Amino acid sequence: MTALTAIELAERIAAGAISARAAAEACLARIAERDAVVRAFVHLDPEYVLATADRLDAHRKAGRALGPLHGVPVALKDVIDTADMPTENGTPLDAGRRPRTDATITARLRSAGALILGKTVTTAMAYREPGPTTNPHNTAHTPGGSSQGSAAAVADGMVPLAVGTQTGGSVIRPAAFCGVVGFKPTHGAISLAGVLSTSTPLDTAGVFATNLTDAARLAEVLMGYDPADERTAMAAPPRLEAGAIAETPVEPTLAIVRGPAWPTASEETVGLFAEIADMLGERADEVELPDIFANGPAAHQRLMTVGFARHLKHYRERSEEGVDAWVRAAIDDGEAVSAVDYLAALDWQVALRAGLDRLLNRYDAIVTPAAAGTAPEGLSMTGDAAFQLLWTFVGAPTVTLPVGQGENGLPLGVQVVGRPGEDARLLRTAAWLQGKLSE
């Protein structure tokens, strides 16, 4: 049963061919078999999960309307509030914390009929200090971060869908390292009310799935206006699932962009992109970003560290020892940023978005590395965000596709970047690219 896609599972549950309880039992069995090694979950209550599944089955048997994810298990990164489970934000300072209300993400999943399976491991306060999660393909290697548990759980077949967050590269990188689809929508497309804040101009929710269409359905459920989050727009959410399965009206033209971090790319990544350029032929051009994009990483760092100083300093005031060294250093850096430099970083966001817009007037999407290479060995670090943070900085929708393996057998991925606000078009183009690369 764990081999079914999320959409196939939803369809069979709706038809009564499979019960929500059976789906939950299959996930719990896989977790019992593997999580002692992968360590993706930080909170799991099997009895509660089965009781919830039984309620979902009773709902269906009563002939009531079913949501698009009815009975489908979904895991949540442990920075997303859940009123019926702990939300501990990867820090001992929040041990046992029980939110009074659900995050908007959680509430929308419940409205769609999803079964919240449990909470997945996050790095400490969604930053750099790793949790215990390992890479399912080789447990001696990192799964990436900060949404490490969500990516690993989907990659290992413990759950068909999971939700994470990204402020630098925390969806795209672990998806690439674990060999699953990771989709980070346009900044502000998904409400973050009830989610740990680290940097308001950068924080974005994202999703993990084994395929593009499942990722599209999950993200579509989560998108939409929320008065509790001023970053969301009062507009109808895009039809992502339809976009992911739609035929392109004409073959897309893609920009192959190496980006500022290209010197750090592994030989395997360099070889992969040479193959991609050859396979795409006249459907792709190798494009150099304008020089102004070199200002993106430093500006991103300023916005992020100021956000840490604003949103996370209260933890440090409670306990200096309870906050890891990475977060303490980020808070210190943020406090040292002047107001002028912070506002200049916001100006760079506007400038680089305009530069991206001009590039995407000529091309349907950008193809760029999802990470420098395969997942690094060791669990003391989660890898480098250099290939992801530029696109997070400009708020663009991005998706990572697993397209190959390195010599060590670990996954290699590519990242596809679209114009902010054109998430459905990005997924349509990514589906075309995936098909083209698999020919």
Q: What is the pLDDT along the chain (439 residues), one digit of tens a residue?
A: 778 999 999 999 999 999 999 999 999 999 999 999 999 999 999 999 999 999 999 999 999 999 999 999 999 999 999 999 999 999 999 999 999 999 999 999 999 999 999 999 999 999 999 999 999 999 999 999 999 999 999 999 999 999 999 999 999 999 999 999 999 999 999 999 999 999 999 999 999 999 999 999 999 999 999 999 999 999 989 999 999 999 999 999 999 999 999 999 999 999 999 999 999 999 999 999 999 999 999 999 999 999 999 999 999 999 999 999 999 999 999 999 999 999 999 999 999 999 999 999 999 999 999 999 999 999 999 999 999 999 999 999 999 999 999 999 999 999 999 999 999 999 999 999 999 999 8
Residue with tokens 């038809």: 15
In this structure, is residue 378 part of a structural domain? Answer: no
Can 111 be counted among the known catalytic residues? no
Residue with tokens 């990204």: 166
What pTM did the predictor assign? 0.98
Q: What is the pLDDT of residue 391?
A: 98
Of the residues 19, 147, 150, 170, only one is catalytic, namely: 170
Which residues 6+ apart lie within 8 Å of 128 measured at CB? 145, 146, 326, 381, 382
Of the residues 19, 77, 119, 184, only one is catalytic, namely: 77
**DSSP notation for 160-198:** SEEEEEESSSTTHHHHHHHTSEEEE-STTSB--TTB--S
In this structure, is residue 106 part of a structural domain? Answer: yes
Q: For residue 320, what are the CA distances in angstroms to 40, 311, 313, 316?
A: 27, 15, 10, 5
Can 319 be counted among the known catalytic residues? no
Q: Which of 436, 439, 427 is nearest to 186 (CA)?
A: 427
Of the residues 146, 147, 150, 191, only one is catalytic, namely: 146
Q: Which of 220, 184, 218 is nearest to 204 (CA)?
A: 184
In this structure, is residue 92 part of a structural domain? Answer: yes
As a 3-state breakdown, the chain gives helix, strand, coil percent values, each rounded to 5, of 45, 15, 40
% of residues, the chain, pLDDT over 70: 100
Q: Chain-centre distance of CA 426, in angstroms? A: 15
What is the tally of structural domains in the chain? 1
* Cβ atoms 252, 408 nearer than 8 A: no
> Residues 149-202: pLDDT tens digits?
999 999 999 999 999 999 999 999 999 999 999 999 999 999 999 999 999 999
* Cβ atoms 153, 160 nearer than 8 A: no
In this structure, is residue 285 part of a structural domain? Answer: no
In this structure, is residue 206 part of a structural domain? Answer: yes
In this structure, is residue 220 part of a structural domain? Answer: yes
Domain that holds residue 217: 6-244
* Cβ atoms 269, 263 nearer than 8 A: no
In this structure, is residue 339 part of a structural domain? Answer: no
Can 77 be counted among the known catalytic residues? yes
Question: Where residue 26 sits, what CATH number does that domain have?
Answer: 3.90.1300.10
> Residues 316-354: pLDDT tens digits?
999 999 999 999 999 999 999 999 999 999 999 999 999
Q: Chain-centre distance of CA 349, in angstroms? A: 21
How many Cβ atoms are within 10 Å of 154's Cβ, its own excluded? Answer: 33
- DSSP conformation class of 282: G
Which backbone phi and psi does 41 adopt, to 5 degrees?
-105, 140
